[in-house]
Chain A
Amino acid sequence: MNRLAVLKELTPDAVVALEKTGMSRRQFIARSGALIIGFSMAGSITQLTAPGSAAAQRLDGAGSGRLDSWIAIGGDGSVTAYTGKCELGQGLYTAQKQLIAEELSVPFDRVNLIQCDTALTPDQGTTSGAQSHPTNFNEKNLALAGATAREALLQRASAKLGVPVDRLATRDGVIRVKADSSKSVSYAELIGGQTFGVPLNSGAKRKHPSEWTILGKPVPRVEIPALAAGQFEFVHNVRVPGMLHGQVVRPPAVGSTLVSVDDASVQGIPGVVKVVVKNNFVGVVADKPWLAFQAANKLKVTWTAGSGLPPQRDLYEYLRNQKPTRDTFFVNSKDVDDNLASAARVVKATYFYPYQMHGSVGSSCAVGDVKDGKATIWSATQAVYPLKNSVAMVLGLPPENVRVIFRMGSGCYGINGADTVSYDAALLSQAVGKPVRVQLTRKDEMAWENYGFAFVIDQRAGLDARGTIIAWDHESWAPTLGGRPGPSDPGNVITGFLAGFQPAAFAARTPAPEPKEFSNGSNAAPSYVTGCVGGRCEGTGTVASERVFTHNVKSPFWTGPLRSPARVQNTFAHESFMDEIATAAKVDPVDYRLRHLRDPRLIEVVKSVAKAANWETRPSPRFGMRRTGIAAGRGVSCVLYEGDNGYCAMVAEVEVNQDTGEITATRLVIASDCGPVSNPNGLRNQLEGGALHGLSRTLLEEVRWDDQKVTSIDWSTYPSLFLGANVPKIDTVLINRSDGSTMGAGETATTVTAAAIANAVFDATGARIRQVPFTRERVKAALDARA
């Protein structure tokens, strides 16, 4: 990419940032400055690339080892930081600004943060998986850059003032001699407008949380005033001079392929610029969005019949019987069958979780500008660098000719349509040689997104004569197709597939190899097993006879990560089953959990939530309950998210109308321990929203289909919890640890909700609901089936 062309395309905030750092555009070209990272991908300017920065550009999101890629000090003392982890509505932008302000001892407002732009920011892969907080707030990446910069500034100040570093203090961007505050030097004087020219120092020490004055505080989110005033620029609001509007035409059924397109069918519509076809990808470009919408509706397209779908009512049997499978043992002590055979009692249950969708409230949108062999894409993707590569594949361009600029979209909760619509905009723009904006219709968004996995899970537990668990056996089946495109698989989402790319191949594997180490990233193993693999026991529980065996099978629908992927399904099954075992043992559900846990932090969140909820210690179900009318009950659930990334426990209180099957959650109490809290108000917002998202999915959400196509295509066919719903009172307990690592917290509350509700319904009524969503019909059927 031509350097000058890149500079012309700098966003206004980036230009301001550049100017603040004291570097004019011309100077910027001449030096390997703060923004070198973004340009080292451009083949034409590799001579500016310093040794080592090529490695920093790897597509696995390795970040950068150069301080100047992360932080620049302006001539006015302002601090500009660059991050590859984006704001998705979770509050990360504000928290990262807090982090940099804290580490550099400057006021919050003096920090300018530039996020997720392949021409400007370090490659940090994907903003996902509750991993942004641990990635950028611990001992590496952005946090390490902050610590390295502070140490570098102190060393320069020490040289300038002739005083050892340990006799210096840093405040508001000024370094002073502790004993003589008249001797001082500002950051601007030390380095304003220049580069540091040093690598990240892995030995640089971060400030201890006990010293924090900005991080750890409830700083209000910086975007909220503009959002509330309707002035915020979403990707939906990006306007480029000369921009046209596109609309896509998706196949009518799963497996349909294109036969023909009748261009003449839209010739009468004014403003239609072009009908675009590439393999099975069909789209229309017009002057105005409304014209593009009408043209897409009127365009006569002939498709083959679909390949057919398994009957929805048979889904779970279908999953169990699918071949081939990819089999995995997460843990296998090889004595489970013997212990189950000799157990005093065996408890069994099977749990069912449906396909669910991200269902962003705003359908996905992107703007593509492809001409002269170069492309700029404005996208709400969680993965600017991987998308840069996969867009290049879709367009047939070298990756260095593609720039992806993140602009916030509607909340995604995982891979919604943001990547696929980026391909749509790119393909349509390439076909017309002008910038094209595409926003999907509600139906195109919902019928073809990458759904959260359906699951069927069998559980068995053996109990000894005293009611203690002596063996736990877990076996699951879950379908998969596609996923995040990453840098090399555009066929993992619908547009890439239609344009001629295949999804990543299904890697069948039978028999499963023996596990080499215990990894509980998908929470396939329950919290109550020891997780002993290869002589190391890294589980959080006490049950040593353990087998966790999973099968992935091919999915008829596209799948991908949806807030707490696999973890929400597994945790529903584990935490519901733990209650079923506790009932069999006639022990209180909290006490029974504590009896089988050995991780002190997981124990603490369970105890904390029970205390905050005034938990009444007794076995479930409630004694002497009535069989009609309203019944009230409480349930508990807990998780160590991903096995190492955030502790959470929830108590749900519900009322069940036993005549109608309607469940009303009246109160949710959540205890969270995610290490040092970066922003308590932001954390509470995530826990509250995550819990209600979990509640909506537990009670209402399920993708539906007929024999050819998905029939959940709008908010009447895919129900969600609307604002008028009678939502529970939510209390949050934050356990703030100043001594631990920072963990994720955006997905923990969602993960524990379904089981907490199911356990509360059982406590209230004695009816066990093992299939999500807990619709009135299902609840009523379970109530009617009570002995």
Chain B
Amino acid sequence: MSVLNLKVNGQNHSLDVDLQTPLLYVLSDDLELRGPKFGCGLGQCGSCTVIVNGEAIRSCITPMAAVAGSEITTLEGLGTVEKPHPIQKAFINEQAMQCGFCINGVIMTAKAFLDRNPRATDAQIRQAMSGVLCRCHVHARMIGAIKRYAQEAKA
């Protein structure tokens, strides 16, 4: 066990953890965050995605040792029910989900990508989303919401 510092959604945390513990377990169990989710535990589906230093990473396969001292943003760090972030708002406006379990990975992956590539083409957006899985198959609405956010962010 080692004591690590972690800044999550602007808040500092000091945690006594096994360095091999995947970040996801700390976020969802110790910090009781509801955004990042365990989907596969293998880095395949994207449900656990968080943004670390501006980059979307898969927290289910990222050991705590790799993120010590990092600044982490989760889905709940973007906005709230009352004041959603524009990308969250785009998904609400498009009603772009069904069960919503995957939405964390969809929004966090898209946001990190568009922050770095604000002029991305449709094909580039699709490429960026190619590792994210939605089993309700709300693909068309989700890609629509991402493009809507991209256009609004550009404007």
B59-96: CB near A (< 8 Å → 1, else 0) gives 00000000000000011101111001000110110010
Contact call A230/B75, Cβ cutoff below 8 A = yes
Q: How large is the interface on B (under 10, 10 to 19, 20 to 34, 35 or more residues)?
A: 35 or more
Q: Which residue of A lies closest to B100 (CB)?
A: A227
Given contacts A228-B97, A229-B84, contact A727 B140 (CB under 8 A): yes
- Binary contact track B15-53/A, C-beta < 8 Å → 1, others 0: 000100110010011001111111111101101000000
The chain A residue with its CB closest to the CB of B110 is A723
Beta-carbon contact of A290 and B21 below 8 Å: yes
Q: Are B29 and A361 in contact (CB under 8 A)?
A: no
Known interface pairs A89-B136, A410-B135, A685-B95; 18 further A-B residue pairs with C-beta atoms within 8 A, sorted by A's residue number: A220-B92, A229-B88, A230-B34, A231-B76, A290-B18, A290-B21, A363-B40, A363-B41, A410-B102, A441-B41, A688-B140, A688-B141, A690-B137, A695-B137, A696-B137, A714-B42, A715-B40, A721-B139
- CB pair A410 B95 closer than 8 Å: no
Contact flag A715-B126 (CB < 8 Å), given A224-B91, A232-B34, A234-B101: no
What residue of chain A has the Cβ atom nearest to residue B132's Cβ? A723
Selected A-B contacts with CB under 8 Å, 23 pairs: A224-B91, A224-B95, A224-B97, A227-B97, A230-B34, A230-B36, A231-B76, A236-B38, A237-B34, A239-B32, A245-B29, A361-B39, A362-B37, A362-B38, A409-B101, A411-B98, A685-B138, A685-B141, A688-B140, A695-B137, A723-B126, A727-B143, A729-B140
A 389-408 to B, binary, CB cutoff 8 A, 1 in contact else 0: 00000000000000000001
- Bits for B104-128, please: 1 = Cβ < 8 Å to A, else 0: 1011000000000000000000111
What's the least CB distance linking A85 to chain B, in Å?
Answer: 16
Question: Which residues from chain B contact A685 at a C-beta distance below 8 Å?
Answer: 95, 98, 138, 141
Chain B proximity of A97: nearest CB distance (Å):
15
Using Cβ atoms and an 8 Å threshold, which residues of chain A touch B28? 236-237
Q: Across the interface, do B75 and A223 meet the contact criterion of CB distance under 8 Å?
A: no
Q: Which residues from chain B contact A441 at a C-beta distance below 8 Å?
A: 41
CB closest residue in chain A, given B106: A723
Classify the interface of chain A: helix, strand, loop or mixed: loop
Complex contacts, B22 vs chain A, CB 8 Å: 290
> Which residues of chain A come closer than 8 Å to B104, judged between CB atoms?
230
Report how far A689 CA is from B76 CA in the complex, Å: 26
> A721 and B137: CB pair below 8 A?
yes
> For the complex, is B131 an interface residue (Cβ under 8 Å from A)?
yes
**Chain B contacts for A720, CB-based, 8 A:** 133, 135
Distance in Å: Cβ of A599 to nearest Cβ of chain B? 29
Given that A723-B133, A724-B129 are contacting pairs, would A231 and B81 also be in contact in the complex, using a CB cutoff of 8 Å? yes
Alpha-carbon distance between A227 and B79 when the two chains are bound, in angstroms: 12
CB distance from A640 to the nearest CB of B (A): 23
CA of A363 to CA of B102 in the docked complex: distance in angstroms?
11
Q: Is A692 an interface residue (CB 8 A)?
A: yes
Tell me the minimal C-beta distance from A545 to chain B in angstroms.
39
Flag if A361 contacts B101 (CB, 8 Å).
yes
Which of B25, B45, B89, B127 contacts A724, CB < 8 Å? B127
Interface residues of A, count at CB 8 A: 63
Which has the most chain B C-beta neighbours within 10 Å: A234, A682, A689?
A689
Q: Which residues of A contact B106 (CB under 8 A)?
A: 723
CB-nearest residue of chain B relative to A688?
A: B140
Interface residues of A in 692-715 (CB under 8 A from B): 692-693, 695-696, 714-715
In the complex, are the beta carbons of B91 and A693 less than 8 A apart? Answer: no
Of B33, B137, B142, the contact of A230 (CB 8 Å cutoff): B33
Chain A hits for B37, CB < 8 A: 234, 236, 362
Complex CA distance for A600 and B38, rounded to whole angstroms: 48
- Least Cβ–Cβ distance between A650 and chain B, in angstroms: 15
Please give the distance in Å from B18's CB to the nearest CB on chain A.
7
Measured in the bound complex, the distance between the Cα atoms of B93 and A224 in whole Å is: 9
| Chain A contacts for B11, CB-based, 8 A | none
Residues of A within 8 A of B57 (CB): none
Chain B proximity mask over A229-250: 1 for CB below 8 Å, otherwise 0: 1111110110100000100000
> When the two chains form the complex, which single residue of A224, A691, A722 contacts B132, counting CB atoms closer than 8 Å?
A722
Asked whether A411 lies within 8 Å of B136 as measured between CB atoms, the reply is yes
- Would you call B56 an interface residue if the criterion is a C-beta within 8 Å of the partner chain's C-beta atoms? no
B residues whose Cβ falls under 8 Å from a Cβ of A: 18, 21-22, 25, 28-29, 32-42, 44-45, 47, 74-76, 78-81, 84, 88-89, 91-92, 95, 97-104, 106-107, 126-143
Q: Which of A290, A689, A724 is within 8 Å of B137, CB to CB?
A: A689
> How far apart sit A233 and B101, CA to CA, in the bound complex (Å)?
10
Shortest CB–CB separation between residue A746 and chain B, in angstroms?
10
Q: Is the CB of A229 within 8 A of B40?
A: no
Closest B residue to A729 using CB positions: B140
* Beta-carbon contacts under 8 Å, A304-350 to B: none
Asked whether A47 is an interface residue with its Cβ less than 8 Å from the other chain, the reply is no
CB distance A229 to B76 under 8 Å?
A: yes
* Cross-chain contact B126 with A726 (CB below 8 angstroms): yes
Instruction: A290 to B19: give the CA distance in the assembly, Å.
Output: 11
Smallest Cβ-Cβ distance to A218: which chain B residue: B95
Closest chain A CB from B35 CB (angstroms): 3
Check if A723 sits within 8 Å of B129, measured CB to CB: yes
Residues B102 and A361 in contact, CB atoms below 8 Å apart:
yes
Measured between beta carbons, the chain A residues less than 8 angstroms from B41 are 363, 441-442
Q: CB of A360 within 8 A of chain B?
A: yes
Those 6 A-B pairs whose CB atoms lie nearest each other, nearest first: A724-B130, A89-B99, A230-B35, A230-B75, A411-B99, A227-B100
Complex: chain B residue closest to A416, CB-CB? B135
Closest chain B CB from A666 CB (angstroms)? 13
Q: Which residues of A contact B25 (CB under 8 A)?
A: 288-290
What separation, in Å, do the CA atoms of A722 and B141 have in the docked complex? 14
**When the two chains form their complex, are residues B34 and A361 in contact, meaning their CB atoms are under 8 A apart?**
no
Please, how many angstroms separate the alpha-carbon atoms of A441 and B130 in the complex? 23
Q: How far is the CB of B134 from chain A (nearest CB, A)?
A: 6
Does A5 reach chain B (CB closer than 8 Å)? no
Instruction: Give bound CA distance, A224 to B104, whole Å.
Output: 12
Q: Given the complex, which residues of B lie within 8 Å of A237, measured CB to CB?
A: 28, 32, 34
A408, chain B: closest CB distance, angstroms = 7
Asked if B92 contacts A359 (CB within 8 A), the reply is no
The 8 A CB mask of A723-737 against B (1 = contact, 0 = none) is: 111110110000000
B74 touches A230 (CB 8 A): yes
Q: Contacts of A408 on B, CB cut-off 8 Å?
A: 99
By the criterion CB–CB under 8 Å, are A225 and B81 in contact?
yes
Q: Are B95 and A362 in contact (CB under 8 A)?
A: no
Binary contact readout A664-698 vs B (1 if CB under 8 angstroms, 0 otherwise):
00000000000000000110011011111101100
Known A363-B38, A410-B135, A725-B139: A221·B99 in contact at CB below 8 Å: no
Chain A: minimal CB distance from B26 (Å): 9
A226 proximal to B (CB < 8 A)? yes
Are B99 and A410 in contact, with the CB atoms below 8 A?
Answer: yes
Q: Which B residues are CB-close (under 8 A) to A542?
A: none
Q: Is the CB of A723 within 8 A of B130?
A: yes
Q: Does A90 contact B (CB under 8 A)?
A: yes
Q: Chain B residues near A226 (CB, 8 Å)?
A: 81
Across the interface, which residues of A come within 8 angstroms of B84, CB to CB?
A: 225, 228-229
Residues of B within 8 A of A455 (CB): none
Q: Is residue A510 within 8 Å, beta carbon to beta carbon, of the partner chain?
A: no
Q: Which residues of chain B are near A760, meaning CB under 8 Å?
A: none
Neighbouring A residues of B35 by C-beta, 8 Å: 230
Is B34 a contact partner of A228 (Cβ separation < 8 A)?
Answer: no
Give A576-628 interface residues, CB cut-off 8 Å to B: none
Is A472 among interface residues, defined by CB-CB distance under 8 A?
no
CB pair A724 B126 closer than 8 Å: yes
A408 to B99, CA, bound (A): 8
Q: In the complex, which residues of chain B have a beta carbon less than 8 angstroms from the beta carbon of A543? A: none
Inter-chain contact A411/B101, CB cutoff 8 Å: yes
Residues of A within 8 A of B34 (CB): 230-234, 237
CB-defined contacts of B127 to chain A, threshold 8 Å: 724
The smallest beta-carbon distance between B101 and chain A, in angstroms, is 4
In this complex, what residue of A is CB-closest to B18?
A: A290
Distance of A693 Cα from B99 Cα, bound (Å): 14
Q: Do A723 and B92 touch across chains, with their CB atoms under 8 A apart? A: no
A228 touches B103 (CB 8 A): yes
